[in-house]
Structures are given as structure tokens and as C-alpha cells.
Amino acid sequence: MNLWKLNPWALVVCFGISAGQAQEDTPDVLVCEADELREAGAYADAYMAYELAYPYYESVCDYYHMAYVKTWASEMSYYLPYPDEVRDAAVFKAYSIIEEHLAAVRDTLSYYPLALMNMSLYFGHKKDYERKLSFCHKAKDAALLINGYSSPNAATAYNNLGVAYGGRGNWNKALSYLDTSLSILLELEKQGDIFYAKNNIAHSYAELGDFERAILTQEEAVEAANEDRNLARALNNLGALYVEVDEWETGILHLKNALAIRRRLSDTLTDNIFSTQLNLIWAYSESGKARRSEALLDEVIDEAIALAPSFSNSAYLQIAYNYKARNVLEAGHAADATG
């Protein structure tokens, strides 16, 4: 059950110029198109449009628009299959431009909180957790100042603080920030992000050992899921929680439903499918269905090997091998006992 970054969408901004007022392919039109593509979820096309517009603004030293374009381009990179170092470079470039702009001009940038949030992710990748937490707080303060309490950016900033404190093991503090994020999202009726918030809160309760509240909140996350991939994620997590409290049949049912959705969404093995299968293997083992557990484990390993090298270095494959080694060890101990 992974903690999740909310989607900090802002209003589309076209710098006071409409497509009808400008010539086709001007940078302003490209940025307007990029904003619309971003809002539509066409992240790759949005990224390309932002990058095409950037050189013009750079050539005239227009730092405001340079900062805007690079901030959103860096945000799009998180939704594309780029290595972390590429994303981190984009985030750092965007933040550097913003700081250069703000050093010359007193300005209120609506997207400044987003740049600060992404810098917290940047330092997280660098494993500099003190600076990660510092930028989370800066993003929250900026969101409250610039966007206001009842805003998507404020909700995201409080969520990210919750995630950051959870990552440091301070789950009570994490819950405080996550609850604040959820209250804002409920006020804004941001259904998609409500799902993520409830997912994160359920995870925090589980880490605190409060499985009753974790299950109740995770069931709310199932109800809040507005996409199949989110429903699968919620059912997977709910199934794992039921296994934790020894309600194995209920857990197995939810895990099977999650796996069915994930199989339907992909025609090949993915990390999400792999993780749900591992949860099922664990559930079967805990419920005394050792043969079913071992059979599924063999199926999972064989499928992953058949797709090598895609899964040859997968952490999930290593977990599967660890399960296999444990089973062999336990079988050896059982044979010694009966002998």
C-alpha cells in the first residue's frame, strides 16, 4: 500500500491571450494548447507543447513564462516513463528559473506551490529527507498564501506533508495533515483526489495498528474510486488489510477482484498484477491453503521469467523467490520433524 501524491491541477492560464487572437504556432498558443492537453490527461503531448514553447521565452528572457512552462513541463514528466534523473533535472531547472524571476521581481505565482512540492520530491529522490520536509512546509505556506485554504494546491500540500511524516514513521502527525487534506477535498468535491486521501489515511491507520479504522477507511476508498485502476488499488489494499486481521476468505475475495481488474487493464504482467498475486500467495499461505499458495507462486515466477529481462531485476520477483526459499526451508523442517 503505497502513499500517493495527489494531482495538483491548477486553472488553465493563457497569459491573457486567446487562440483566436494569436497566430497559429506562436508560443502563447502552444502554451494554451499544452494547458488544455494537460487538463485532458494527454501528458506526453502537453509535455512536448511546453518544451516547444520554452525556447522562445528563453530567447527574450521572459522569466515569468519560462518559469510557468518549465514548472508544468516538469510536472508532466512525473506522469511519463522517464528516469528519475530526467524528472529531477526538470524540477530543479523550473525551481531555479522561478527563484531567478522572484529575485528580480516581487510576484505572486499561482504555480509556485507546485514548484515547491516538486522540489520536495526532488530531495526525496536524493534521500535528503530534512530538505524534503522543509520544502513540503514551504509548499504548504505558499499554497495558503497564494491559493488560499480551500484550494487544490493546499489540499495537495497537506497531503504531501502527511506522506512525508509517514515516511519518517511519525504516523500520528501524518494523520493530522492527511485529515486536513481530506477535509479540503471534501469541501471542493474533488472525487478523484478524495480516493487517494482515503487510501493514504487507511495506510496510516494500518501502520499504527488500528486495523478496524484502517478497514473502515479503506472501504470508503473503494466507494470513492472513480476509475478501474483506483478500484483495483483500493480492493488490493482492502484485501491485504483483511488478511492482516485473519479474515482470510474476505481478503482473498477482494484480492481476486483486484487481480481480475488489473488483468483486464493490461495484456501483460505488470508490477501491480505481480504485487496482487504476491498478496494472494500470502493470503493462501496464512489461511492454511499451502498447496494453492505454492502453485500460484510457481505460476507467478514462471510468468515473470518468461518476460525476462523486464522482471529479471524486479523487487517483486525477489520477494517471490524469498517465499519459495521459505517454503523449501519449512518443508525441510517438517520432514525432519516427521523423520
User: What 8-state DSSP symbol labels residue 20?
Assistant: G
User: Which grid cell sits at 321?
Assistant: 523467490
The reported pLDDT for the residue numbered 312 is: 61
Sign of the dihedral through C-alpha 155, 157, 158, 162:
positive
**CB neighbours of residue 127 within 10 Å:** 7
Q: Which helix or strand (DSSP H or E) is residue 29 part of? A: helix 27-39
Residue 320 burial by Cβ neighbours in a 10 Å radius (0-12, 13-18, 19+): buried
Tell me how crowded residue 63 is: count the other CB atoms within 10 A of its CB: 20
The pLDDT tens digits for 289-302 are 999 999 999 999 99
Residues of the chain with pLDDT under 70: 1-25, 311-313, 330-339
In single-letter form, the type of residue at position 115 comes to A
pLDDT at 333: 46
The residue type at 68: Y
- The pLDDT, as a whole number, for residue 133 is 96
Determine contact, residues 159/119, Cβ cutoff 8 Å.
no
CB 322 within 8 A of CB 281: no
Residue from 35, 30, 105 nearest 63 by CA: 105
